[in-house]
């Protein structure tokens, strides 16, 4: 199985600690994914995959080495899992084909409205959500865009983060709610927190 193993994120480790994540050195571990923090650039900078040897996916560099997955520690913000990684593409058909050629099956495609589609893949414990126009409009590579985490109690996470977290709303996934981190919190990456999936009991 191909798994998401690592992400490079251009936020300071101290910032993530202030948001309630447990950081060891420069790395935060969630659902087997090592989130390596820091650097002079901002945003989602790179990623690494376990179980496959590739240097890029549809032109998007896969440059990070991965180590064996570490357990998810207790996070003060209530995070218990890495729900999904959001990626954007200007040509959904091409990017989906590239993933499937690597043996990463597209599990579902849905109409997201406003001429957009969402396609979903499984990368170990983490879902990859690919978003883009239903009709391809460009030749550029896809881009890493945002992160969504599952928390034990969304209300408790909201209490912890205060006005750094926007109000919760119903998620696309039935029975779940989602709240996004406000840009005033200081992260250079879009981050969302989600209530648990009721199907997980």
93-140: pLDDT as tens digits: 999 999 999 999 999 999 999 999 999 999 999 999 999 999 877 889
d(CA 46, CA 53): 15
pLDDT (0 to 100) of residue 63? 97
**CB-CB contact of 189 with 11 (8 Å):** yes
Q: What topology is assigned to 3-200 in CATH?
A: 2,3-Dihydroxybiphenyl 1,2-Dioxygenase; domain 1 (3.10.180)
Q: What is the pTM of this model?
A: 0.96
CA 19 to chain centre: 16
d(CA 176, CA 85): 17
d(CA 157, CA 154): 5
CA triple 118-122-124, angle to 5 deg: 150
The answer for residues whose C-beta is within 8 angstroms of residue 68's C-beta and 6 or more apart is none
């Amino acid at each position: 199985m191909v798994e998401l193993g690592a992400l490079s994120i251009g936020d300071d480790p101290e910032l993530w600690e202030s948001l309630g994540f447990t950081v060891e050195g420069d790395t935060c571990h969630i659902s087997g994914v090592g989130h390596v923090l820091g650097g002079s650039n901002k945003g989602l900078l790179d990623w690494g995959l376990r179980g496959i040897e590739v240097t890029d996916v549809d032109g998007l560099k896969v440059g990070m080495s991965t180590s064996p997955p570490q357990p998810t520690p207790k996070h003060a913000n209530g995070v218990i899992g890495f729900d999904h990684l959001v990626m954007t593409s200007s040509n959904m058909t091409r990017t989906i084909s590239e993933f499937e050629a690597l043996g990463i099956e597209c599990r579902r495609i849905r109409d997201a409205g406003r001429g957009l589609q969402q396609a979903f893949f499984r990368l170990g414990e983490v879902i990859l959500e690919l978003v883009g126009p239903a009709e391809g409009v460009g030749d550029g590579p896809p881009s890493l865009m945002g992160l969504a985490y599952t928390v034990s109690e969304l209300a408790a996470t909201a209490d912890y983060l205060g006005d750094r977290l926007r109000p919760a709303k119903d998620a696309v996934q039935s029975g779940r709610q989602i709240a996004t981190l406000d840009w005033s919190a200081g992260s250079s990456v879009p981050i969302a927190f989600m209530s648990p999936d009721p199907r997980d009991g």
